[in-house]
Amino acid sequence: MKVRFHLTSVLYTFYSRGERVSQGLRRRVTEAGWFMIVTTFVIGLSGIDTQWSLHHQIFAVMLMVLLMAVLGLLVSRRPQLVARRQCPRFATAGVDLRYPVTVTHRGRRSYHGLRLREWLADVLPTRAEFVQRAEPRERERNIFDRTFVYYRWMWLLETKRLASGTTSDAFTLKSGESIRIMMQLRPHRRGLLPLRGLRVLHQDPFGLFQRALQIKDGQECILILPKRYPLGKLELAGRRQLDDPGTGAAASSTGHSDEFVGLRDYRPGDPRRHIHWRSWARLNRPVVKEYEEEFFPRYALALDTVLSVDHDLEFFEEAVSVAASFVSGVETREAVLDFLFVAGQAYCFSMGGPGASRASEKMLEVLATVEPTPDPESLRALKISIMRRAASLSAAILVFTEWSDEREAMVQELRARNVQCFVLVISAERRQPLADVHFLPLGEVGEALASLQVRLQPGAARFTA
Amino acid sequence: MSRVDWNKQYQLDWAKLKPPPYLLGATLVLWGILSGHSLLGLSVALMLECHHWVRWRWAFTDQDYIRVWNLCVALFLIVAVFQVVGQELGRWQVTRVFQLWMPILLFPMIWAQQFGRGDAVPLITFSLVARRKRLYDKRAGRELHAPRRANLGYFYFAVLLLSIGAVGRKAPSMGTLLDLSTRSGFGSVSTVYVAVTLLLAWALFALIPRRGWLIACVFLLLASYMGHHVHFGLRMLHGIVEAKTLEWITGRSSADAKRSRTEFGEVGELKLSPKVFWRAKHIEGTRPTLLPEAVYQRYRSRIWMNPRGYARSAPVFRVENQNQWEIANLADVDTTGVMALRGYATGRVQVLPRLDDTALVFDLEAHQLRKNGVGTLTAEPSFSSIKYTVYSGDIIPGQLEAPADTRNDWHIDGLEMPKIREATEALEVPSTASTRGRIQAVERFFADPVNGFRYTKYLSGVGVNDLNSEVSHIGWFLDPKGRAGHCEYYATATVLMLRALRVPTRYVVGYAVQEYDPESEEFVLRGTHRHAWARAWIEEENRWINVDTTPADWLAIEQRPLSPVQRFLDKWDYWMLSWNLWRRDDNKGLLWTLLPLLLAGGLLIVVVLRLFRGLRQSQREISPSGEGGADLDLLGMDSAWFGLEKALADRHWPRPPNQSVAAWCRQLVTVEPAWKPSLPFIVETHYRYRFDPAGVREEELREFESAVATFHEKLAADAAAAKMA
């Protein structure tokens, strides 16, 4: 086992260095260049015996073409370009992003055949990740694959890859000329996408090798928000409502309406702005204005970040997408999610103030960067975090990566505290819903969410499929 | 952007790298001209490039590409088997054949790509392992990415260049073609070089924008000028490297007529192959113990070689239309011995073992037989399995081996001279001694136990790492501290000592005839029987004689029990050699030449039939789903609507060509409101049947056909009613 661990560690060094070298080469050599190099090499090998073939002649001319291509690239002047990218701060996983880039040439010479490429930072897996994280169903692979774990490396690279860029068509730039180029980005998964900057590809006279000149434009990163699904029928009690004394949830309601009811004596804790100054002057004791009590239900969204080792990352990603779908879905229905619980962190967004209107945006930002953890303590931290605020909650939407006794106990406890729970669990296959627990099968999460009919109201959370 | 190419940062996009139109055709034509198959080259080029003129395309699936590739592989195997078994070509010849025919063997693949609807072929087509892996992953339920694709155009172009390089050796220079002086710079340029440069320019210029052509042109001219000089440099380099390393690379399996590199200075055990190289059958005369292969005159720094005049070879006279090669006229010589030899050629040119004083080589199927000044025979065999019979006789010196040449046959390198002189002076041979007396003195020197010479395969002494021009290996061997070595030490020392004693002597490598195989009644000549000895000129008798001073026990030392594997290989080689030679006999020639051809043809027919059956199957599978097939345009043309349309047109008015079916039906419904419940359904289902990629379900189709039939009946009833009225 130890030997395999060491081997994997050594392989990490080999793969990561190889990937860097490979990236560097791919940046500098075009497809035609690779073709030329390989063909020259093969013909050169065939032409070792110069007496019996003319391969050495073909090899000589191809070698010289390669040499002249390199020379041509070395002696050519670098184009002096300035670029301005008009790219939004946010993108959504799975949704292509198109944005214009204005490139201005500040040099004197004209350049032909330039191309623009969005160069994205390639995040390599860490050594710890490579050693510890196994590809899904890796155990089913053969011994060679399990030993050399190349597929694991490829899989990790794939999962780390946040987005793909495109290369523009070739363009010509004259001195002082500006050109507007539409670039496109395909975000693969949520996260913070660092931008290394735009690169201008400047090729040699034969188009075999190229320079990838970096043009900085100031933008550092794009936040890729999680993928969202359309929700089915979602009924949330929005806006402020008059108190319904019959519902227990009213006990946790706060706030005041503008409807004046009457005057009463001041009690410690009453806000100063409610003091009725004239009555105080008349009666010589503090009197406050009493307003009609009102009910404002408070909703919370909780995301379970614990991903057990036998579950694929896909479970977690789908859970994040479901949570993000609710953030967006609730916003469109003029209701507000007040709390977001992620792992042990609680984010409060409805305490008033100018920032409240951007609550969903901030929630999506949080969800964009959340990472899974195999540590079960995180689930306990989530539970503690919700319980602390249970008294002020009306209902909660809980998104779990799996269904377990611990999670069930958490739901029961919340219900015991009079918090209505709407539970969504990502499952490997279709399952019949339990009481107030709905299972979203992997691969059909979008359809399942769209078919859900959710009704969340203080004191009553109902849903039907 | 017209097309979005994702992942460019991570993967090279081979699908977009397409050669310009007609480049492959032009290259194929050049290949045809150079290979002597102009008509074939032109036909293939036309077949390939006509895709620019016709719109007809096949909807090849990935599976179809695999089938076409399997056809190419089958062609490769057929050609390989035919060449190796049928034509008995050696490895180098088969390589040449493949290099020549590769464009044709790969033609089905490039043709399929050009006439397929896509412009790229999945790369997994070419790897059975990758395909298996993908199948395994699919079964395991892993997520599969779309296979990477590549346009094969430039790959095929590279194959053509490879083939042109192999077949263009005999192409004239530009000087010959344009009637210029070959001494002028341009006149010495090969036409192939010029043609390939032009083709490369065509290929490269297609990749760059037109505005950059001028600069590219300048750079290309420079590259071609430099390339012309570089290829001369490469030829020189090849000559130097070949001289230094080729024998080391090729090993000791076959002699070289020009030089022989000794194992002097190599430390460790000398390993010789137990493989049987030749089989010799003694037919007449005294059984020879030594069969010479190559003879050399000059020794320097571990290498025996022949000076330029003697290394040059001349063709041996061939009796017209016969496999009889006469070194001397048999009518003028008395035959002293006859020996039949057979074995495999290991290269294009094969040095033949022979008898001393060979006068005639009989029954040798070869393009050419040459002999050099010192009597080494080299043949360009027609087949890799060779058989020949050697007749020896009392030939005149000069007919095979040149008489003694004191300039070369007395030559001792300055480095060896002191030790050689010291050793010969110790022999105390009187100056009046006869040539035979001098030879005997040298033989005694090596044979006398007092001198302590012993045969060993374990090489020590001056190590190869210490090798420099100042080290004398023979000096070390003759030194009383050394005096151990293998045959090359003995033979070289003997030659040099005899030369010091003024006896013209040459160095010979060949085989010792020792191991008899009773089963085949032949002597087998293995790598372990390879031997070196001296050949001395007896002035008094005007002839050459062999002088072998290697201790007689050397063969016993070399002889080791053969492993079972080696015994099996010996048997296999024997059977294969016997079969190859037997089937080439006059009586069976046609049958056994045709048999591999028939087998290959049969196999090819089977593969082609399988290919077409597979293609037909896949086209059939494509068509119903509407994913595109050969008959895509006909999809939905069997709709029942068309019959109904005709009936409706007869009833009211025909549909104008520019009017859609839906619009026409809307007009009809306004005229005949009774049709309102059924006609829109029929039209909608027809539209879906005709154009919806998802098609219509079976029950919907049945419902549609039933509705159309009912409609026809209604129309017929209405028509009958109208008639009655």
pLDDT in tens, A225-263: 888 888 877 776 544 444 433 333 333 333 345 567 778
Beta strands A437-441; A420-427: pairing state: parallel
Paired strand residues for A338: none
Give, in degrees to the nearest 5, the angle at Cα A326 between A321 and A329. 120
Distance CA A58, CA B198 (A): 11
Identify whether B716 is part of a domain. Answer: yes
Q: Which residue of A has its CA nearest to B200?
A: A62
How does DSSP assign B97-161, residue by residue?
Answer: HHHHHHHHHTHHHHHHHHHBSSS-EEGGGG-HHHHHHHHHHHHTT---PPPPEE--HHHHHHHHH
The secondary structure of residue B653, as a DSSP letter, is -
Identify whether B327 is part of a domain. Answer: no
A210 and A359 both lie in a single domain: no
A274 and A320 both lie in a single domain: no
Is the pLDDT at A291 greater than 50? The verdict is yes
User: How far away is chain B from the Cα of A1, in angstroms, using its nearest Cα?
Assistant: 26
A275 and A324 both lie in a single domain: no
Predicted pLDDT at B30:
93
Identify whether B510 is part of a domain. Answer: no
CB-based contact (8 Å) between B211 and chain A? yes
Across the interface, do B14 and A52 touch by the CB < 8 Å criterion?
A: no
Distance CA B638, CA B695 (A): 13
Helix (H) or strand (E) holding B607: helix B589-625
A405 and A432 both lie in a single domain: yes
When CB atoms are compared, the residue of A31, A140, A166 closest to B17 is A31
- To the nearest 10 degrees (0 to 180), the angle between helices B191-205 and B23-35 is 170
Predicted pLDDT at B586:
62
What's the rounded mean pLDDT across residues A55-65? 93
More confident residue, B522 or B610: B522
For the stretch B704-714, pLDDT in tens is 888 898 888 88
Q: What are the two backbone dihedrals, phi and then psi, of residue B518, each rounded to the nearest 5 degrees?
A: -65, -30
Q: Which residues in chain B are closer than 8 Å to A208, comparing Cβ atoms?
A: 204
pLDDT tier at B6, thresholds 50, 70, 90: very low
Identify whether A236 is part of a domain. Answer: no
Predicted pLDDT at B443:
92
Across the interface, do A34 and B12 touch by the CB < 8 Å criterion?
A: yes
pLDDT tier at B219, thresholds 50, 70, 90: very high
A63 and A209 both lie in a single domain: yes
A308 and A455 both lie in a single domain: yes
A439 and A310 both lie in a single domain: yes
Distance CA B229, CA A60 (A): 8
When CB atoms are compared, the residue of A50, A113, A119 closest to B234 is A50
Distance CA A200, CA A107 (A): 14
Identify whether A240 is part of a domain. Answer: no
Predicted pLDDT at B250:
40
Distance CA B385, CA B382 (A): 9
Is the pLDDT at A375 greater than 70? The verdict is yes
Identify whether B202 is part of a domain. Answer: yes
Q: What is the mean pLDDT of chain A?
A: 80
When CB atoms are compared, the residue of B155, B219, B235 closest to A205 is B219
Distance CA A383, CA A391 (A): 14
Q: Which of B215, B222, B304 is nearest to B257 (CA)?
A: B304
CB-based contact (8 Å) between B16 and chain A? yes
Predicted pLDDT at B631:
46
Is the pLDDT at A53 greater than 90? The verdict is no
Identify whether A370 is part of a domain. Answer: yes
Domain count, chain B: 2
Is the pLDDT at A452 greater than 70? The verdict is yes
Residue position matching structure tokens 């194992």: B263
Structural domain boundaries enclosing A203: 2-225
With beta carbons less than 8 A apart as the criterion, state whether A83 and A104 touch.
yes
Which of A225, A249, A279 is the endpoint of a domain? A225
Percent of chain A predicted with pLDDT > 70: 84
What's the rounded mean pLDDT across residues B272-282? 87
Q: Which residues in chain B are closer than 8 Å to A53, comparing Cβ atoms?
A: 99, 165-166, 168-169
Q: What is the mean pLDDT of chain B?
A: 82
Residue from B18, B34, B208 whose CB has the most chain A CBs within 10 Å, to mutate: B208
* CATH number (domain holding residue A23): 2.60.40.10
Which of B223, B250, B277 is the endpoint of a domain? B250
The end-to-end CA distance of chain B, in Å, is 67
Which of A225, A248, A268 is the endpoint of a domain? A225
Residue B262 CB-density burial (10 A; 0-12 exposed, 13-18 middle, 19+ buried): buried
Structural domain boundaries enclosing B242: 172-250
Is the pLDDT at A403 greater than 70? The verdict is yes
For the stretch B396-419, pLDDT in tens is 888 888 888 888 888 888 888 888
User: How far away is chain B from the Cα of A154, in angstroms, using its nearest Cα?
Assistant: 12
Q: Which residues of B409-425 are buried (b: 16+ CB within 10 A; e: fewer)?
A: bbbbeebbeebbeebbe
Domain count, chain A: 3
More confident residue, B419 or B465: B419
A27 and A162 both lie in a single domain: yes
Identify whether B285 is part of a domain. Answer: no
Predicted pLDDT at A9:
86
Q: Which residues in chain B are closer than 8 Å to A97, comparing Cβ atoms?
A: none
What's the rounded mean pLDDT across residues A383-401? 84
Q: Which residues in chain A are closer than 8 Å to B197, comparing Cβ atoms?
A: 61
Is the pLDDT at A447 greater than 70? The verdict is yes
Q: Which residues in chain B are closer than 8 Å to A117, comparing Cβ atoms?
A: 8-9
| Of B190-194, B420-424, B469-473, B476-480, the least confident | B469-473
A36 and A101 both lie in a single domain: yes
3-state secondary structure of A340: strand
pLDDT tier at B90, thresholds 50, 70, 90: low
Is the pLDDT at B592 greater than 80? The verdict is no
Is the pLDDT at B576 greater than 60? The verdict is yes
| Amino acid code (one letter) for A180 | R
For the stretch B107-134, pLDDT in tens is 999 999 998 877 889 999 999 988 988 8
Predicted pLDDT at B612:
79
Identify whether A438 is part of a domain. Answer: yes
A19 and A65 both lie in a single domain: yes
- To the nearest 10 degrees (0 to 180), the angle between helices B698-724 and B641-651 is 20
Is the pLDDT at B47 greater than 50? The verdict is yes
More confident residue, A177 or B10: A177
Predicted pLDDT at A246:
35
Q: Which residues in chain A are closer than 8 Å to B166, comparing Cβ atoms?
A: 46, 53-55
Q: Which of A52, A177, A162 is nearest to A109 (CA)?
A: A177
pLDDT tier at B104, thresholds 50, 70, 90: very high
More confident residue, B520 or B590: B520
Predicted pLDDT at B306:
87
With beta carbons less than 8 A apart as the criterion, state whether A268 and A286 touch.
no
CB-based contact (8 Å) between B204 and chain A? yes
Predicted pLDDT at B552:
82
* CATH number (domain holding residue A409): 3.40.50.410
Predicted pLDDT at B252:
42
Which of B235, B250, B265 is the endpoint of a domain? B250
Give, in degrees to the nearest 5, the angle at Cα A127 between A123 and A132. 110
Predicted pLDDT at A43:
92
Identify whether A233 is part of a domain. Answer: no
With beta carbons less than 8 A apart as the criterion, state whether A303 and A319 touch.
yes
Identify whether A230 is part of a domain. Answer: no
A276 and A303 both lie in a single domain: no
Predicted pLDDT at A3:
56
Residue position matching structure tokens 């539209």: B687
ipTM of predicted assembly, 2 dp: 0.71
Across the interface, do B196 and A31 touch by the CB < 8 Å criterion?
A: no
Predicted pLDDT at A200:
87
Q: Which residues in chain B are closer than 8 Å to A40, comparing Cβ atoms?
A: none
Identify whether A301 is part of a domain. Answer: yes
A17 and A94 both lie in a single domain: yes
More confident residue, B222 or B587: B222
What's the rounded mean pLDDT across residues B523-528? 89
Identify whether A36 is part of a domain. Answer: yes
Identify whether B699 is part of a domain. Answer: yes
pLDDT tier at B646, thresholds 50, 70, 90: confident
CB-based contact (8 Å) between B15 and chain A? no
Identify whether B578 is part of a domain. Answer: no
Predicted pLDDT at A255:
39
Most confident of A296-305, B383-392, B489-498: B489-498
Tokens of B383: 């087949």
User: How far away is chain A from the Cα of B577, in angstroms, using its nearest Cα?
Assistant: 27
Across the interface, do B1 and A182 touch by the CB < 8 Å criterion?
A: yes
pLDDT tier at B377, thresholds 50, 70, 90: very high
The secondary structure of residue A373, as a DSSP letter, is B
Which of B250, B266, B292 is the endpoint of a domain? B250
Identify whether B670 is part of a domain. Answer: yes
Residue B133 CB-density burial (10 A; 0-12 exposed, 13-18 middle, 19+ buried): middle
Q: Which of A346, A401, A398, A396 is nearest to A372 (CA)?
A: A401
Sheet holding B313-315, edge to edge: B313-315, B366-372, B377-381, B350-351
Most confident of A203-217, B240-254, B276-290: B276-290
3-state secondary structure of B293: strand
